[in-house]
């Protein structure tokens, strides 16, 4: 499980699950639109959006409603 302790982000490996976008069994992160859990391949289909959602989730960065 990934977590934040103060200003330190700890990203831990996750057990493989089924991607909410493509159905592949892989390690997932909640960086898809609507916090869908997505695999790396799906994350790379929209790298800028994925990066915005990751920064929002991990660091509390502001994000526009259309990018959530």
Residues 15-60 have pLDDT tens digits of 999 999 999 999 999 999 999 999 999 999 999 999 999 999 888 8
Does pTM top 0.85 for this prediction?
no
Residue 8 in domain: no
- The span from the CA of 58 to the CA of 17, in Å, is 21
Residue 26 in domain: yes
Domain holding 61, by residue range, is: 15-67
Q: Residue 1 pLDDT > 70, yes or no?
A: no
Residue 5 in domain: no
Residue 58 in domain: yes
What's the structural domain count of the chain? 1
Q: What phi and psi, each to the nearest 5 degrees, are found at residue 34?
A: 70, 20
> What is the per-residue pLDDT for 48?
95
Q: Residue 65 pLDDT > 90, yes or no?
A: no
Q: Residue 7 pLDDT > 90, yes or no?
A: no
């Amino acid at each position: 499980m990934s977590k934040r302790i103060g200003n330190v982000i700890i990203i831990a490996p996750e057990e493989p699950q089924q991607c909410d976008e493509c159905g592949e069994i892989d390690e997932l992160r909640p960086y898809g639109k609507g916090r869908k859990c997505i695999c790396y391949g799906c994350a790379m289909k929209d790298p800028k959006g994925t990066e915005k959602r990751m920064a929002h989730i991990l660091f509390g960065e502001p994000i526009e409603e259309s990018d959530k």
